[in-house]
Amino acid sequence: MVVSNFSDWYNNIMKEAELVDLRYGVKGFIVIRPWAMFILKKMYQIYEEELHNVGHMPVHFPAVIPESYLKKEEEHVAGFEGEVFWISKAGFNELEERLALRPTSETAMYPMYALWTQGKKDLPIKLYQSGTVWRYETKATKPLMRGREFLWIEAHCAFATKEGAENQVMEDVETTNKVISSSFGIPFLFFRRPDWDKFAGADYTCAADTLMPDGRVLQIATTHLLGQNFSKPFEVKFMDDDGEEKYVWQTSYGPGMNRILAALISIFGDEKGLVIPWHLSPVQAVIVPIFKEESKESIMAYSREVEKLLKNKGIRVMLDKSDETPGFKFNKWEQKGVPIRIEIGKREEENRSVTVVERYDRSKRTLPLDTIGEIEKVANEMFEKMKEDAKKRLEESIVEANTLEDMENAVKEGKIARVPFCSLSLEGKECYEKIKEKVKAEVRGRLLSKKEEARGNCIVCGKEAGEVAYVARQY
RNA sequence: GGGGCUGUGGUGUAACCUGGCUAGCAUAUGGGCUUUGGGAGCCUGUGAUCCCGGUUCAAAUCCGGGCAGCCCCA
């Protein structure tokens, strides 16, 4: 992907590949078109399956939250109040109590959790819902990256002990690795966020940041240790073994599906268009027939035979029967990101073979018809390459910086700077604000994946460094 | 939150500064002919000045407001 004009590329691909339509006419609300929605559905399916594997069950809570619920936890309201859409009227009646369109569902779910939890037998609770939330974003909106309505999954857990909740946070990290990294191929860094940047109402927040081609990071999933901050005001209690009533320990986890799609598009896309991983693509293999008028019938017949063969193998195949020229079709499906193209012309028909072109590096090979199942292997190898290359790009974008100047340069070049930093608790906030002002970048936190020993002095204040922090520009 | 730019058929644009004739072009789209190993060609048809208000004999064009989009900065 060309870095110099990522923004143009991105805006353009939305239209060209028919992913979304921005013309709905309400700021921050967009129409997601079939090609993108199919990919989202696939991602949901894989995500939900993995959540089931680790013991979550699905649930559905209402989209509206009574004002009194939303306001029960003080920090939480303070964090979200400015972004809430309110329903104050229904039909011809003013509502007695305003209803919030959920910006996130803690305050919708926990009143019910209180009713459902009496004893240890009711714990842990591990529930998730897939759905939409609404936030009145005041920053500039950008298709799929920041909207006022977005699709996500939110998993809300409750445990008898703090340890149980902390383990859940680590399990969420592992789930994120399995799904977003291994299955979707999107590399990211998982950070413990600084205290000044945690979720409103959480003890602490961990967040996965991926790197967009222009060097800005995009947060694609978060998991929060909510501690007992919500269980107390919502009175989610249980009777413990010692006969004492105790408050549960809670977590919430939220992968943002729109943003994951935005990352998928941007990280794998190239100057020709999208490149969609095999298992997520609406069309996995497209057959492009090539013929002279006199051979049309037999080549189409052979193409249909190949189509049927692939369909029977469970592959999402599409035979492009339109009247366009082959070159037009090649370009169209490359733009749409179909991972495998199968060309069938006179040569292929005569040899009972197919020509297979993979989208990522556009390598071409001829397969005899009876080995056509090989395309799955080709596609898998393609995906592994995409994944590796993306991972390498992320790793290579991390650079050491020990002075403010180095950091500024790194960030300006679209890198993620790894810096010695005094503290990620509130004591370090002043240093962070200086970075933000001078370098126009964010302190993303410290890595979760490994413990990094801080050396030297804080890049800003010069005090002994307590942390190895990562600094980058963000979306 | 601050600043800037923009809004013309489905899409991309010309005309806007300096108001004036039938709003031009490309692409897409309907029909016809023709055509298929990297975005074919010819003929023909359909289709547009974001919304509200103001200035003016006359507004796509100038002014004000709204809505929407993009970029930069916080």
Question: For the complex shown, is ipTM > 0.90?
Answer: yes
Mean pLDDT estimate for chain A: 96
Distance CA A329 to C1' B39 in A: 8
The C-alpha angle with vertex A163 and arms to A161 and A169, in degrees rounded to 5, equals 115
The nucleotide closest to A326 (CA, C1' atoms) = B36
Q: Which residues of chain A have pLDDT under 70?
A: 1-4
pLDDT (tens digit per residue) in A242-259: 999 999 999 999 999 999
| Closest C-alpha among A129, A224, A226 to residue A172 | A224
Under a CB-based contact definition with an 8 Å cutoff, are residues A248 and A231 in contact?
yes
Distance CA A323 to C1' B13 in A: 28
- Residue ranges of domains in chain A, CATH in brackets: 6-268 (3.30.930.10), 283-380 (3.40.50.800), 398-474 (3.30.110.30)
Distance CA A22 to C1' B20 in A: 36
Can you give the pLDDT at residue A5? 85
Distance CA A118 to C1' B56 in A: 78
- pTM of the full structure: 0.97
| Chain B positions with a protein C-beta closer than 7 Å | 1-2, 11-12, 34-40, 67-74
- Helix or strand run (H / E) with residue A432: helix A429-439
The nucleotide closest to A138 (CA, C1' atoms) = B1
Can you give the pLDDT at residue A4? 53
φ and ψ of A436, to 5 deg: -60, -40
Distance CA A12, CA A23 (A): 14
Can you give the pLDDT at residue A374? 95
Distance CA A29 to C1' B24 in A: 35
Per-residue burial over A143-172, b = 16 or more CB atoms within 10 Å of its CB, e = otherwise: bbbbbbbbbbbbbbbbbbeeebbbebbebb
The nucleotide closest to A6 (CA, C1' atoms) = B71
Task: Return the bridge partners of A224, or none.
Answer: A205, A252
Distance CA A30, CA A43 (A): 19
Can you give the pLDDT at residue A163? 98
Structure tokens at A113: 């959790």
